[in-house]
Structure 1
Amino acid sequence: MIKALKFCSFLAIYLFVFTSNAETKLSYKEVKMNYSVSIVDPESHYLEVTLNLEDLHSKTTKLLLPVWTPGYYLILDTPRYIVDFEVLDHNGKKIIWKKETKNCWVIENGDKTKFTVKYRVFANKKSVAESYVDAEKAFLMPNTIFMHLENAIANPVTLTVNKYDKWSKISTGLKRAGEKENVFFANNFDVFYDSPIYIGNQKTIDFTHEGKSYSLGIATPKGLNEESFVGDLKKIMSATTAIMQKIPYDNYSYIMMEAGGGGLEHWNSQAIFTKGSFDSSSTIDYTNFLNFVTHEYFHLYNVKAIRPIELGPFDYNKENYTTMLWVSEGFTVYYEYIIMMKAGLLTGKDALKYLTNSIRSYENAEGSKHMSLAQSSFDIWLNFFNHESNAKQTIISYYDKGPTIGLLLDLEIRNNTSNQKSLDDVMRFLYNEFYMKKQRGFTEAEFWSVCEQYSGKPLDEIKKYVNTVEEIDYQKYLKYGGLQIDLSPVTPGNIKNKVIEKDFTITALPDATKLQLEIRKSIFEF
């Protein structure tokens, strides 16, 4: 998810996968839910929210607001920003309500089958996971603003966005309801919550590619070469489709905001911060930005569709734990470089350099001696923004070790099958078998079973590298791909506050066999 933040995660799946949601299995009668959000005075940072409910079937109505954002593993406690909450019947008379928990509002509506809820939201957090409004724009994360009915995540919802009168554009992956440009519809709240909305005067570009529709909203387009940039996006998407062999959406929205840090994946969109312009000071800056975009784009396959079973259906009221984010995030880092290379935007040697940096970052971190990869995933709720003085000495990032395991696993499968199978086959199988066919995520045991199915051999050693801090035998695995790694000690030095003990430079093996050369060329194209 949020690759730019080292201990974050750059993940809500909303097509038919969510028909298995435990909440949706409950029998309930559909309620008409029509939201509107108005931005009257953006400099105050407040949003005015109105919810009209009709066809209620209970004397008591419970409304809940999520306390976290999928893909952003931190309890945000967004209910603290709700103020002036009130409930009115059709005559404008106030209806009694109370708080049951920090994020649950209980309304005593009695025999009333319809009423209106009004409240304001203080939106002043500049983040890809929270809502923000100022004089120039508004970024709305629906899960931080709009409440859902208890046990009714599957309830449809409409939203009318009343823009500030000085703004003209709305960028979002939400579907429009009819012809009006400011009215949107979602089949359920998982869809709704997974669809950020950017409102302002951003530059918008609409285009089609391989039969799908795309919208691109750019807040700060200075220096943009539209034809070249859109062309690079198309190359990235084509390379991804070539690997996954599926395009799981009809429309996709790129939301590229002003200068900031991080990004967040969504099922039919991504919302990312930029450096504030497209005037890149160097080719590497632009390449790194495309890596970032590719990372978020591949997440719609890996974590949205291909996902640990704990990550959807979500419990929006508390932490959702999994030991498998190293697959969701780490493999996505691995594939961002592979996709960029296949798209012709990175050379194979450049892709290998990026992966070498991941190995170097992990191996030269003191935390590698204390935290396993599986633990780094499970404990992300503790370490998402861990700035304690001992953090660098005790924790690791699955963004570093995760792609390393991805590379080793890919090499192992290719070596065991004479390069007839690869990690690509694993990813496609997980997508088709669990997302498409079984309409759910995979368990840890199922993940390893699929990997071993394609490897043809047990993967106990790689499992050990995931679940322990045991030293990795890089030479063994890299040799499968005609590569070698320099493990000789180097003079200690301080680079980005890390003491370098080994350089870990990876180079071509001079006496590689035919199979090793084939594997290297299949992955890195040299």
Structure 2
Amino acid sequence: MHKPKTNIHYQVSVKSLTGHLFAVKLCITNPDPLGQVLSLPAWIPGSYMIRDFAKNIVTLSAENSTGGMLRVDKLDKQTWRVTPSLETIYIYYDIYAYDLSVRGAYINDEYAFFNGTNMFLAVKGQTELPCSVELLKPNNLKLSHWQVATTMSSENPLSHKFGDYWANNYDQLVDHPVLIGEFDIVPFTTSGVEFELILAGGHQADIARIKKDLTQICQHQIEFFQDEAPISHYQFITLLTDNAFGGLEHISSTALMYSRKDLPSLYQQDKMTEGYQVFLSLCSHEFLHTWHVKRTKPEELFNTSLDKEQYTQQLWIYEGFTSYYDDLSLLRCGLISEQDYLKVMAQNLSRLLRNQGRFKQSITDSSFDAWTKFYKQDEGAINNIVSYYNKGAVLAMCLDLLIKQHSHNKHSLDDLMRFLWTNHGKLNIPTTINTVQEFISDHIDIDLSDFFDLALYTTKELPFTSLLEEFGVNVKLNPRDKLEDKGGIPTTEAFLFDFGAQIKDQDVGVIVLQVTESSAAFNAGLQVKDVIVALNNWQVSNANLKHIINNLTLDQRVDLVILRDKKLKTLSFTAQPVVLDNVYLEIMDEKKCASWLQ
């Protein structure tokens, strides 16, 4: 593959490790004769929040091809106009890069990472044209071993060398994250696609095992769509830290952040730890987005403008369905057991039942308000909003079971996913808010209109209990063993009375992190950031709270002593009936359960 001739060329270098600065030079051969307008995106696709990446531009200047300086006027927070020139112009700017996230730009002494939305100014009027990027190798001899990881087009995509890369247009340019630095490369091939797991940040992981497991996941998902993969090269670009979690999908790669200590070690052999299972689920989730988000997408996110919010009610289809299939894919690959999968689904159900916001916000409203509510959660989020990821996964499970039930196991949600790819993603046709309902009605001949009305536009409970029972799975509701219980396992030594707040140990007492509406803690007047000193005259810690509460009697009123803004206060705490929000799923009929899961 040879570099095309382009009129827009970027040059990127690491200017300062300590100062966390990238230097960018932008060459525009044919600038707008009326004055070239430049802009930087305000958000990055897949992460629905205005982030104002332009705030990280430290300096910006322009000159023409003869070296004459050109005036640059800033039009708004992310837009500039260069004074008219009939010659080639050059834009020079520095980017501050110290946002260690999958959506940002970051430089340390081991690597430099960036997304194009943080780095590349868009040239107004020319965003549909091909553009090229030259990645410069650092001059520092200590960094001579640094390499490049990106799936952007180049003459040798697997070489990991500095030099020239290119894209067909601006949207493609910013859809290829770039990692420069020292990292491990784990190559594998399946179903005609060349994959690379990129690990930066250092680790002691069992690489052979991760490679084997990722190969199975990728092969399964490619085969799931019963079609040739829309990619030939794919990278899992993984930034490892002591404690992190995140993923962001791209057209032929994903940027991940994960805790290095949760990757499998050689001494663990074949043990599937919870941390490793979550890592595989994250990889599964982001890779599935290659079809279901990056190519099949809602009409509101087609040809999107990156300078302002783009609202859609359809995120429950894209993040919700993907959240259902990410762990289901691990089961279908044989990486986890049926009981392992049911544990994860029970945890999803527990999370939903603990979310009082599900009674206030519908899932379509949650999708629409992602920009201002889901991505800007505060201490009241658990009581006021619902997650389109979490409820969307439960909705997808219910829909899968309903389709199987009404079609006598002749059809499933799999058919819908393949239809969306074949008739929308592959053909570059967006989905509407009614695409899912119309497919089920027209192609499977099932009327689920009542379910969709309830699930999408009301805050009523989803019928997961009765549906799971139809497929041989009993939903057991228990109290928690401890406040941080995720659910999924039987309760052994439960709370006998409700508490209703999440806490964290302090040097003295515990600090309140979250208070659930209508709980005993809420009714006592407890607030986030309160420090609980004592309950019923006993000093409180995370370890002894259950013991104190379980020694109360129903409706007993006791003193709850707190520090609020460093002032001592005494609240009245009343022992309330315990809440059954710890879900455990038990297989009662293996054959019926298998008809769902297999």
Find the counterpart in structure 1 of residue 47 from structure 2: 72
Deviation at 1:486, TM superposition (A): 2.9
Find the counterpart in structure 2 of residue 271 from structure 1: 255
- The answer to whether the Cα contact below 8 Å between 2:13 and 2:22 also exists between their aligned partners in 1 is yes
Deviation at 1:377, TM superposition (A): 1.0
**Amino acid corresponding to residue 197 of structure 1 in structure 2:** V
Find the counterpart in structure 1 of residue 316 from structure 2: 326
**Judging changes above 3 Å, is the alpha-carbon distance between structure 1 residues 368 and 338 closer, same or farther for their aligned structure 2 residues?**
same
**Judging changes above 3 Å, is the alpha-carbon distance between structure 1 residues 201 and 31 closer, same or farther for their aligned structure 2 residues?**
closer
Say if 2:112 is the partner of 1:123. no
**Counterpart-to-counterpart distance in 2, 1:482 and 1:460:** 25
Find the counterpart in structure 2 of residue 22 from structure 1: none
Find the counterpart in structure 2 of residue 258 from structure 1: 240
- The answer to whether the Cα contact below 8 Å between 2:319 and 2:388 also exists between their aligned partners in 1 is yes
Find the counterpart in structure 1 of residue 133 from structure 2: 159
**Amino acid corresponding to residue 334 of structure 2 in structure 1:** G
Question: How far does the alpha carbon of each residue in 1:283-306 deviate from its partner, in whole angstroms, 9 at most, with x for none?
Answer: 222111111111111111211122
Find the counterpart in structure 2 of residue 229 from structure 1: 210
In the TM superposition, 1:363-374 aligns within 5 A as 363-374=353-364
**Counterpart-to-counterpart distance in 2, 1:388 and 1:210:** 44
Find the counterpart in structure 1 of residue 327 from structure 2: 337
- The answer to whether the Cα contact below 8 Å between 1:153 and 1:190 also exists between their aligned partners in 2 is yes
Find the counterpart in structure 1 of residue 596 from structure 2: 523
Question: How far does the alpha carbon of each residue in 1:195-227 deviate from its partner, in whole angstroms, 9 at most, with x for none?
Answer: 101111111123322221122211145322222
**Judging changes above 3 Å, is the alpha-carbon distance between structure 1 residues 336 and 273 closer, same or farther for their aligned structure 2 residues?**
same
Q: Where is the strand percentage greater, Structure 1 or Structure 2? A: 2
Query: What secondary structure is seen at the aligned counterpart in 2 of 1:486?
Result: strand
Aligned identity (percent) is: 26
Say if 2:413 is the partner of 1:423. yes
- The answer to whether the Cα contact below 8 Å between 1:88 and 1:95 also exists between their aligned partners in 2 is yes
- The answer to whether the Cα contact below 8 Å between 2:32 and 2:84 also exists between their aligned partners in 1 is no
Deviation at 1:88, TM superposition (A): 0.8
1:392 alignment partner, one of 369, 375, 382: 382
Which of 1 and 2 has higher RCO (CA within 8 Å, sep 6+)? 1
- The answer to whether the Cα contact below 8 Å between 2:154 and 2:166 also exists between their aligned partners in 1 is yes
User: Which runs of no fewer than 5 residues in structure 2 stay unpaired?
Assistant: 481-495, 503-513, 520-578
Question: How far does the alpha carbon of each residue in 1:476-507 deviate from its partner, in whole angstroms, 9 at most, with x for none?
Answer: 32233232323578854558556743333322
Question: How far does the alpha carbon of each residue in 1:457-481 deviate from its partner, in whole angstroms, 9 at most, with x for none?
Answer: 2222321122110122233322332
**Judging changes above 3 Å, is the alpha-carbon distance between structure 1 residues 453 and 363 closer, same or farther for their aligned structure 2 residues?**
farther
1:442 alignment partner, one of 431, 434, 440: 431
**Counterpart-to-counterpart distance in 2, 1:181 and 1:163:** 6
Find the counterpart in structure 1 of residue 106 from structure 2: 132
In the TM superposition, 1:125-204 aligns within 5 A as 125-164=99-138, 165=140, 166=143, 167-177=145-155, 181-204=162-185
**Amino acid corresponding to residue 241 of structure 1 in structure 2:** I
**Amino acid corresponding to residue 234 of structure 2 in structure 1:** Y
Q: CA RMSD in A?
A: 2.2
Say if 2:180 is the partner of 1:206. no
Say if 2:10 is the partner of 1:44. no
Find the counterpart in structure 2 of residue 248 from structure 1: 230
Question: How far does the alpha carbon of each residue in 1:337-396 deviate from its partner, in whole angstroms, 9 at most, with x for none?
Answer: 111111111112211221121111112211111111111111111124434332221111
Deviation at 1:407, TM superposition (A): 0.5
TM-score by length of 2: 0.77
Find the counterpart in structure 1 of residue 71 from structure 2: 96
Query: What secondary structure is seen at the aligned counterpart in 2 of 1:273?
Result: strand
- The answer to whether the Cα contact below 8 Å between 1:426 and 1:454 also exists between their aligned partners in 2 is no
**Counterpart-to-counterpart distance in 2, 1:389 and 1:402:** 22
**Amino acid corresponding to residue 331 of structure 1 in structure 2:** F
- Give aligned pairs, total: 488
Deviation at 1:242, TM superposition (A): 2.5
Higher mean alpha-carbon deviation, 199-208 vs 373-382, is at 199-208
- The answer to whether the Cα contact below 8 Å between 1:416 and 1:455 also exists between their aligned partners in 2 is no
Deviation at 1:92, TM superposition (A): 0.7
**Amino acid corresponding to residue 310 of structure 2 in structure 1:** N
User: Which runs of no fewer than 5 residues in structure 1 stay unpaired?
Assistant: 1-29
Query: What secondary structure is seen at the aligned counterpart in 1 of 2:60?
Result: strand
Query: What secondary structure is seen at the aligned counterpart in 2 of 1:414?
Result: helix
**Judging changes above 3 Å, is the alpha-carbon distance between structure 1 residues 73 and 142 closer, same or farther for their aligned structure 2 residues?**
same
**Counterpart-to-counterpart distance in 2, 1:199 and 1:109:** 35
**Judging changes above 3 Å, is the alpha-carbon distance between structure 1 residues 261 and 163 closer, same or farther for their aligned structure 2 residues?**
farther
- The answer to whether the Cα contact below 8 Å between 2:471 and 2:595 also exists between their aligned partners in 1 is no
Say if 2:584 is the partner of 1:505. yes
Query: What secondary structure is seen at the aligned counterpart in 1 of 2:15?
Result: coil
**Judging changes above 3 Å, is the alpha-carbon distance between structure 1 residues 223 and 495 closer, same or farther for their aligned structure 2 residues?**
farther
Question: How far does the alpha carbon of each residue in 1:32-77 deviate from its partner, in whole angstroms, 9 at most, with x for none?
Answer: 1110011132111111100111134533211111010111111111
Find the counterpart in structure 1 of residue 442 from structure 2: 453
Deviation at 1:86, TM superposition (A): 1.1
Say if 2:465 is the partner of 1:475. yes
- The answer to whether the Cα contact below 8 Å between 1:255 and 1:269 also exists between their aligned partners in 2 is yes
Deviation at 1:97, TM superposition (A): 2.2
- The answer to whether the Cα contact below 8 Å between 1:338 and 1:523 also exists between their aligned partners in 2 is no
2:288 alignment partner, one of 298, 302, 311: 298
Question: How far does the alpha carbon of each residue in 1:246-294 deviate from its partner, in whole angstroms, 9 at most, with x for none?
Answer: 3110100111112133111111001111213435687222111111111
**Counterpart-to-counterpart distance in 2, 1:384 and 1:489:** 27
Deviation at 1:191, TM superposition (A): 1.2
**Counterpart-to-counterpart distance in 1, 2:442 and 2:289:** 24
Find the counterpart in structure 1 of residue 352 from structure 2: 362
Question: How far does the alpha carbon of each residue in 1:417-446 deviate from its partner, in whole angstroms, 9 at most, with x for none?
Answer: 111111111011111111223x12200122
- The answer to whether the Cα contact below 8 Å between 1:405 and 1:462 also exists between their aligned partners in 2 is no
**Amino acid corresponding to residue 451 of structure 2 in structure 1:** I
Deviation at 1:148, TM superposition (A): 1.3
**Amino acid corresponding to residue 79 of structure 1 in structure 2:** A
- The answer to whether the Cα contact below 8 Å between 1:74 and 1:384 also exists between their aligned partners in 2 is no
**Amino acid corresponding to residue 114 of structure 2 in structure 1:** L
Deviation at 1:177, TM superposition (A): 4.2
**Amino acid corresponding to residue 370 of structure 1 in structure 2:** K
**Counterpart-to-counterpart distance in 2, 1:434 and 1:95:** 46
**Counterpart-to-counterpart distance in 2, 1:190 and 1:522:** 42
**Amino acid corresponding to residue 208 of structure 1 in structure 2:** T
Answer with 1 or 2: which has the greater Rg.
Answer: 2
Query: What secondary structure is seen at the aligned counterpart in 2 of 1:432?
Result: helix
**Judging changes above 3 Å, is the alpha-carbon distance between structure 1 residues 279 and 425 closer, same or farther for their aligned structure 2 residues?**
closer
In the TM superposition, 1:13-28 aligns within 5 A as none
- The answer to whether the Cα contact below 8 Å between 1:46 and 1:123 also exists between their aligned partners in 2 is yes
**Counterpart-to-counterpart distance in 2, 1:408 and 1:392:** 23
**Judging changes above 3 Å, is the alpha-carbon distance between structure 1 residues 339 and 102 closer, same or farther for their aligned structure 2 residues?**
same
